[in-house]
Structure 1
């Protein structure tokens, strides 16, 4: 079951450069913490990788669909929804959020079609 992010949670997520994500194993234990850029738009939190792959934190996230995230003053269990081939409007909104937060140069590799296909929505559990 998922819950909505509170406005305060979204502000916390959006105020940091990176969150840390630990993907859940099948036995419920957590893998190691990995730093990843995060953006918020439309009341949702999103992360991406540069390219879609079956390895590393991203591959584990695709298989598990569950993780824990943390930023200062917030630690939460999340459900992971793969929305990479989703709505063109959501893709445009997430691209815009990456550009606004990380700057055109910093976000460059995160707003390509390849990166957009590797977009995950984090839903609070």
Structure 2
């Protein structure tokens, strides 16, 4: 489902994104984990701080779906991996969105490094 204009604006400002990919049974959400999120070209993206070794990233990769909470609402979602190769321009736009949204944080520079870039996920509302 495409994000509405209101969702795009709200999600772009929200700093309360929690992700819970489904467990191995494919229906039970895992533990909600707080992570950073950005909106680029009307789509919602997240990155794993620990790169591809991240537990939530691997669950999202394996299950392809789960739950999120953002701006006080819960959503059922699908996860789509965004590889760096072939998506360099998009990755650069995501970097820029992280720089803008989290400019004051000491944790921002690592989020635009190779590890997290290689663990970028598009979050699609169902």
Length-normalised TM-score, structure 1: 0.89
**Which residue of 1 is the match for residue 98 of structure 2?**
98
Equivalent position of 1:30 in the other structure: 29
Q: 1:61 to 1:120 in 2, by over 3 A?
A: same
- For structure 2, the residue ranges without an aligned partner over 5 or more in a row are none
Given the two structures, how large is their TM-score scaled by the length of structure 2? 0.88
Q: Which whole-Å CA distance do the structure 2 matches of 1:27 and 1:89 have between them?
A: 33
Counterpart check, 1:111 vs 2:112: yes
Moved over 3 A (4+): none
Distance in 2 (CA, whole Å) between partners of 1:72 and 1:121 is 18
Cα offset for 1:10? 1.6
Q: Which residue of 2 aligns with 1:71?
A: 70
- Looking at structure 1, the residues matched to 73 and 16 of structure 2 have their Cα atoms a distance apart, in angstroms, of 13
CA distance in 2 between partners of 1:74 and 1:7 (Å): 16
Give the conservation status (yes or no) of the 8 Å contact 2:77–2:125.
yes
Q: Which residue is 2:79 aligned to?
A: 80
Contact 1:49/1:58 (<8 A) preserved: yes
